[in-house]
Structure 1
Amino acid sequence: MTEALLKYFRTKEQEVKSEKKYDSQCPYCSMQCKMQLIEQSIVTRKKYTTIGKDNPTSEGRLCIKGMNAHQHAFHKERLKFPLLKVNGEFVRVSWVEALEYIKENFTKIQKESGHNALAVYGSASITNEEAYLLGKFARVALKTKYIDYNGRLCMSAAASAASQTFGLDRGFTNSLSEIPSTKCIILAGTNIAECQPTIMPYFERAKENGAYIIAIDPRETATTKLADLHLKPKPGTDAVLANGLLKVIIEENYVDETFLQERVNGFDDVRDYVGSLSLDEMEEITGVPITLIRKAALRFGKEETGMIFTARGVEQHTNGSMTVRNFLNILVTTGKVGKPGCGYGAITGQGNGQGAREHGQKADQLPGYRSIENEEHRKYLAGVWGVHHKDIPRKGVSAYEMMEKIHEGEIKGLFLMCSNPIVSNPNARFVKEAIKKLTFFVAVDLFVSETARLADVILPASSYLEDEGTMTNVEGRVTLREASYPCPGEVKHDWQILCEIARVLGKEEYFSFTTAEEIFTELRLASRGGNADYFGITYERLRKEGGILWPCPDPDHKGTKRVFETSFAHSDGKAAMVVVPNSPVIPKEQLSDEYPLYLTTGRVMSHYLTGVQTRKSPSLAARNVEPFMEIHPATAVKYQIQNQSLVKIESRRGSVVVRSKWSETIRHDTIFVPFHWADSQNINLLVSKELDPACKMPGFKVSAVKVSPVNDFLN
């Protein structure tokens, strides 16, 4: 090395004044990869690097989003103090002023219109402690029945299907470590390669070990390329495809008779129904050839071990719950659950999609997966909270239905925490109109999101680097997110904000927490004896063990790696199968001469949900600067759509303009658009308000649309 180079490196070493390390977890998907931020102070600037840390789930891996997550946390537009809207403009105010203003307006609304005139809208990205506290805040501090959260738009179909079939929803019935040992895998409507990239090595190891992988998706994706067999059903016909698989499995006698007799109810009805169906008819409905239906069914049926994974592709439908139940029918019929290498996995979307729904944010649930309508459950929680059980409100309505209540004027005030409903909800124009009608609106967020723009007060929240707490990842593993980076400006943690508002409302005795760990201690007690029992989990254990799979009923319990080994969670210990009819043909929204194409939506790797955080990361925003419409070239030619040109997409609800992207791997009757963009390019403007009757999931994956080229002068 030359003397000049040595001098250069010595100079650089001297410039580095200090190096600090901060442990945390990725704020994005449900893998909840553990990470460490390295901060180097160099003369006049700071340099940041994020590295992965070893853990039982992602084994030290990070994807492109995780490696660049810190960029949004340090973005110049980060909120650092409370804002109050005055004459249409946001101005800085003190916390004292903001809290007093909230108190005055919340009190006035409830005095004039009753407790239920206020609503709370939560998030599946906040910690377990904050999800728990938000539910308690709604029911104890505000005494309103109206609370729900954005996870309703993500995991509700899978959660309801698992609860109805198994009596319990833990997302994964097994741990991820069992995937490499299974011999046949069905990936139904999941693009894990782009949505949960760090989970992919488990499936790659399975393939290396000889597993046969079947992918179900109308598009070819980075995930379907891993598959040995790719089925491309028409959007919304996955339940019918599952009936076809069931028919072949049963008729070819790949059923586990002993398992069915001892541990299952309802099989006879399902067998009789699918026996009456015609494979020719199912081929016509789904667009999947009989030969491929038979090939998939026989392969899954004959293998000794097998697992089924579902995600938004088969869940975000107005029949999403029943569709997942039909895939669980396949699993139960073949006896492939509760055994090594056999089970079900709901690929959770949001970072805390599992834990956030377990502890009280859903309209009908109390902590520990208890029912708000069950008297014993109500009495137990009342004892934990120190209130009378009759004072706990009854169940409210789902997230989108709350927007309808706002539009109708029944709900007049809204407290929104870390969500962006005017972008994420279906029928988005209607949702924006509803929120504009509110008498008073408080938003808690990192940034002034599209929804927060409409707020009267915005309170600044802490980021994943600053906010300590537990998260429950995709496999049901409770992890402790260590987060010690100092909050910027006057930022507070979500749980602190809830405690502060409760204090000014005169409810301090129920919200006198000073640390996240204190909240978790109460959460443990609140969940004790419930389906989602966290009582045996402590911060000390989580630090020592790196994460614990629930249920974990006592401190000596090691956690549950595999559920349903000896019985299911229904009172009789059996799984419940159900007939899922082909008719009426799903989807409800049919194609027509005017709207001849299916629109389906989804994600791209570089963005997350409504993009509020990822668009603040230059490294991520640069990868996808705008949305696009994926369309088959033959379809594009038919409608005079040039590649990389602007195109207008119209449904019965409205229209958006995006850029076209030709793809020979998508169905001719289907277009795909990612949902991460807002305002005039918000694809959810085109999605129907129709909801799944069981779980209230919107039908994001099927909308009837037409496409047309935009005039050249706009290109």
Structure 2
Amino acid sequence: MHGKLFGKQNTNFSEAVAEADYVLVIGANPMQSHGFPKARSAILDIAKNPARTLVVVDPRVSETAKKADLHLAVKPGKDAFLFAAMLGVLIQEKLCDQDFIQEHTVGFEQVQGHLKNVPVEEYAEIAGVDVGLVRQVARDMASAKTLGVRSDLGIEQSHNSTLNAYLMRLLFLLTGNFGKHGTNCLHTAFMPLIGHSPERDEGGPKTAVTGMHGICKLFPPNILPLEIDSDHPGRTRALIVESANPLNSYPDIAAQRKAYARLELMVVIDVALTETAQAAHYVLPAASQYEKFESTFFNLEFPENYYHLRHPVAEPLANTRPEPDIHHDLVCAMGELPKKFPLLKSLVKLDRKLPQLRLLPMALGVT
């Protein structure tokens, strides 16, 4: 979705719930499950401020919905109809931010062509939301000084999840609430959780047996048995499983187990002797989260984004090691990486003393 909209699949946007004048929460319950910094305080601040508005889209009266100015109790699985109706109002009543669209987007005419014919009343009825309320929210979003849209798994693990995600993003894009204070914004990350795969027409890697193209440099687990349990000459013959238990959590466990039996090598890196570890040729035990340096990579805030490195609080068990150490030694044993970098180590020490020279960034660019 983000690859199509923003140019890179590994982009992510944050929601300015704490700053926006008009906040739309969709398929999320931040009063209970958080999802952004100081979530409860942010929601309560909106609820207490008559100059701000909180709208919640949720089939049930959640803890967050109880704090809302407006609650759109959409029928389960009918979110796409609700979003399409709201977008139809924006297009048909000419409420879109034309300056933003002309300056920052391409392809609006195609979107407009679809949405101008949306039967707003019919879609609102299917969604189970009063059409007057749908029109009110769409108009208020368009007229708000700033709009922040927060969504979560409620629409991403439901019917029409991809369409839900696309239409939800159009709500803040067509109203021009993107990339400025108090709106949804792209942000940097210390280490992206995912990568970027070329689009199908751009080539890029695909699996040998099923021909599946990657998304975010990932492939769906459903195809793994097909990639292994095959007579194709390029079939998957070896597997490294880290911090996962596919023989317990992947789809069609029977097919997974049958396929793994055909592997020539399976290595599991994990803190526990899982079902998958028990089926492996080798198990490389990892230290637990309390016994090694750890950090969170879900640092998705904007404009202030923090990276938190946590120190170990206990000694590791015998014969366990942190995953980076395991990876390092495997790559070194394969002859793909030298065991030491003496020049880089010297430059790091000098960089600490003279950071203004930026020796480390230059050294990393060279090495």
TM-score (ref. length: structure 2): 0.74
Q: Does 1:417 align with 2:225?
A: no
Deviation at 1:417, TM superposition (A): 0.9
Q: CA separation of 1:453/1:213 partners in 2, compared to 1, >3 Å: closer, same or farther?
A: farther
Q: Distance in 2 between matches of 1:512 and 1:311?
A: 44
Number of the residue aligned with 1:68: none
> Could you tell me which residue of structure 1 aligns to residue 43 of structure 2?
203
What does residue 7 of structure 2 align with?
Answer: 167
Which one of the candidate residues 15, 18, 21 is aligned to 1:183? 21
Partner of 2:228: 406
Residue correspondence of structure 1 range 503-522 to structure 2 within 5 A: 503-509=332-338, 512=340
* Deviation at residue 491 of structure 1 after TM alignment: 1.4
Match among 303, 326, 329 for residue 500 of structure 1: 329
CA separation of 1:269 and 1:319: change in aligned 2, threshold 3 A: same
Alignment partners' CA distance in 2, 1:285 and 1:460: 52
1:223 aligned partner: 64
Equivalences for residues 263-278 of structure 1 within 5 A: 263-278=104-119
> Match of 2:24, SS?
strand
Structure 1 contact 219–232 (Cα < 8 Å) conserved: yes
Q: Distance in 1 between matches of 2:252 and 2:73?
A: 27
CA deviation after TM superposition for structure 1 residue 325, in Å: 1.9
CA contact (8 A) 1:239 1:326 kept: yes
For 1:324, the equivalent position in structure 2 comes to 165
Paired residues of 1:186 and 1:215 also in contact (CA < 8 A) = yes
CA separation in 2, counterparts of 1:427 and 1:222? 36
CA offsets 1:668-710 (integer angstroms, 9 cap, x no match): xxxxxxxxxxxxxxxxxxxxxxxxxxxxxxxxxxxxxxxxxxx
Task: Report if aligned partners of 2:86, 2:120 keep a CA contact under 8 Å in 1.
Answer: no
User: Within 1, Cα distance between the matches of 2:255 and 2:276?
Assistant: 13
Asked whether the equivalents of residues 17 and 149 of structure 2 are also in contact (C-alpha less than 8 Å), the reply is: no
Secondary structure of the 1:214 match is strand
TM-superposed CA distance for 1:330, in Å, is 1.5
Match of 1:213 in 2: 54
* CA 1:431–1:304: 2 relative to 1, 3 Å: farther
- 1:455 is aligned, of 280, 284, 290, to 280
Q: Kindly provide the amino acid, as one letter, of the partner of residue 459 in structure 1.
A: L
- Report the structure, 1 or 2, having the larger strand content: 1
Is 2:92 aligned against 1:251? yes
Offset of residue 446 of structure 1: 1.5
> Does 1 or 2 have the higher relative contact order (CA < 8 Å, sep 6+)?
1
Residue 318 of structure 2: aligned partner: 489
Cα drift, residue 322 of structure 1:
3.4
Deviation readout 1:389-446 (Å, 9 max, x if unpaired): xxxxxx7743433343134462232101112334443445544544455343221112
Aligned positions of 1:34-183 closer than 5 A: 161-168=1-8, 169-173=10-14, 178-183=16-21
Q: Determine if contact 2:147/2:177 at 8 Å carries over to the other structure.
A: yes
Partner of 2:291: 466
Q: CA deviation at 1:245?
A: 0.8
2:267 is paired with a residue of what secondary structure?
strand
2: CA distance, partners of 1:513 / 1:432: 42
Counterpart code for 2:309: R
Secondary structure of the residue aligned to 1:240 is helix
Q: CA deviation at 1:479?
A: 0.8
Q: In structure 2, what is the Cα distance between the partners aligned to 1:450 and 1:252?
A: 57
Structure 1 unmatched runs, 5+ = 1-160, 347-351, 366-370, 375-394, 522-537, 541-553, 556-715
SS state of the match for residue 268, structure 2?
Answer: strand
In structure 2, the partner of 1:140 is: none
User: Helix, strand or coil: the match of 1:451?
Assistant: helix
Q: Which amino acid aligns with 1:441?
A: M
Is contact 2:221–2:251 with CA below 8 Å preserved after alignment?
no
1:312 matched to 2:141: no
Q: TM-score, normalised by structure 1?
A: 0.40
Does the aligned pair in 1 maintain the 2:289–2:312 contact within 8 Å?
no
- Residue 354 (structure 1) shift: 6.9
Distance in 2 between residues matched to 1:223 and 1:209, nearest whole Å: 15
With over 3 angstroms needed to count, the CA separation of the structure-2 counterparts of 1:270 and 1:396, relative to structure 1, is closer
The Cα shift of 1:345 comes to: 8.1
SS at structure 2 position matched to 1:300: helix
- Cα distance change on mapping 1:396 and 1:226 into 2, 3 Å: closer
Q: Distance in 2 between the 1:319 and 1:290 partners?
A: 21
1:581 matched residue in structure 2: none
Asked if 1:475 is matched to 2:301, the reply is: yes
| Structure 2 CA distance for partners of 1:267 and 1:223, relative to 1, 3 Å | same
Say if 2:224 and 2:256, in contact at 8 Å, map to a contact too.
no
Q: Equivalent residue of 1:164, what SS?
A: helix
Kept in 2: contact 1:182–1:206 (CA 8 A): no
- Distance, in Å, in 1 between the alignment partners of 2:117 and 2:33 is 38
Structure 1 equivalent of residue 120 of structure 2: 279
Aligned to 1:237: 78
CA distance in structure 1 between the aligned counterparts of 2:158 and 2:110, rounded to whole angstroms: 24
In structure 2, give the amino acid aligned to 1:357.
Answer: I
Distance 1:425 1:217 in 2: 29
Query: What secondary structure is seen at the aligned counterpart in 1 of 2:307?
Result: strand
Structure 2: stretches of 5+ with no match in the other structure: 206-216, 354-359, 362-367
Return the alpha-carbon distance in structure 2 between the equivalents of residues 404 and 246 of structure 1: 41
The answer as to whether partners of 1:471 and 1:478 remain within 8 angstroms in 2 is no
Contact 1:470/1:480 (<8 A) preserved: yes
Pick one of 262, 266, 280 that aligns with 1:441: 266
Shift of 1:248: 1.4
Would the aligned equivalents of 1:218 and 1:235 in 2 still touch at CA under 8 Å?
yes
- Between the two proteins, the alignment pairs up a number of residues equal to 324
- Structure 1 CA distance for aligned equivalents of residues 57 and 120 of structure 2: 18
Counterpart amino acid of 2:238? G
Q: Aligned equivalents of 2:322 and 2:341: distance in 1?
A: 12
Distance 1:206 1:496, change over 3 A: same
* Corresponding residue of 2:211: none
